[in-house]
Amino acid sequence: MIKLSAVITCFNNEDTIVKCIESLKFVDEIIVLDSLSTDKTMDLLQPLKCRVHQQKFKGYSQQKQDAINLCSHDWVFLLDSDEFLTDQAQETIKSWKSQTPKAEAYELPRREWVFWQWSRSWVHMNKFVRLFDKTKAKVSNDLVHESIQSSGRISILNAIIKHYGETSIQRKLEKINQYSQLAAEQKFKQGKKVHPIKLMVYPVWCFFKQYFIRRQILNGWAGFVNAKLNTKYAFLKYAKLYELQQNKLDK
């Protein structure tokens, strides 16, 4: 039987942290690294069976890596504090624990909450490495959209994660502004450049890809709004990169 540690990083997640942790009861230990929450998150964590640590937020990547480093076991399951595992996913991972791993890391599909409804089953679901051998993995250094990078074989495990990511249009807009700035800064530091024509052409392709190829059209009006806002994120990311380029030329 494989010993499995679960890792959660959180900050002011009083609305979702309990559901998140309760979906992980089958693991051998739960590590929570809190970024000095100011809401009721810490009070809610006290009666739950988990090891809680706190530290000042060091960035998305470093915070997750620090949490992983606290684990007692080599195999780690990473879950965000606004996510939870479905009952089917819990059973799938329980079954996986009783077998010999066929890979060093596993990607899991994630279904999104889109403003007022769950994304439909036929809508494209992104996959993320969440189950992995920490001795052969590390968190990428990306400023935003950090990911687990494994030096071993990566396979797919059909255990769906549900994500309360887009709880409102207002919240989505706040994230778009924050994440687009971080993405632009990262691309700028990497020496990447953008031509103004891309600011006109790329958003058109992005909407087509989101709405039709990734099948957001099946989510009704929620899908339309989401596709439009994802297009806004793509535009702002490159517009802010262009702004950084221009500011550098002016200095």
* DSSP class of 120: P
| Cβ atoms of residues 146 and 140 within 8 Å | yes
Q: Residue 233: which residues within 8 A CB-CB, separation 6 or more?
A: 176, 179, 180
pTM (2 d.p.):
0.94
Spatial distance between the Cα atoms of 167 and 113, rounded to a whole number of angstroms: 7
Residue 249 pLDDT = 76
Q: Give the total residue count for the chain.
A: 251
| Cβ atoms of residues 151 and 137 within 8 Å | yes
Burial class (CB in 10 A: 0-12, 13-18, 19+), 69: exposed
Q: What backbone torsions phi and psi does residue 98 show, to the nearest 5 degrees?
A: -90, 0
Could you give the angle at which helices 220-250 and 169-189 cross, rounded to 10 degrees?
40
Burial class (CB in 10 A: 0-12, 13-18, 19+), 38: exposed
- In order along the chain (251 residues), what is the average pLDDT of each group of 10 residues? 97 97 97 98 96 97 98 98 98 97 98 97 97 98 95 98 95 96 96 95 97 98 98 97 88 60
Residue 8: closest CA among 63, 75, 90: 63
Domains of the chain in start order, with CATH, are: 4-165 (3.90.550.10), 168-250 (no CATH)
CA distances 126 to 42, 156, 160, Å, are 30, 12, 10
Report the phi/psi class of residue 197: left, alpha or beta, with left for phi > 0 and alpha for psi in -120 to 50.
alpha
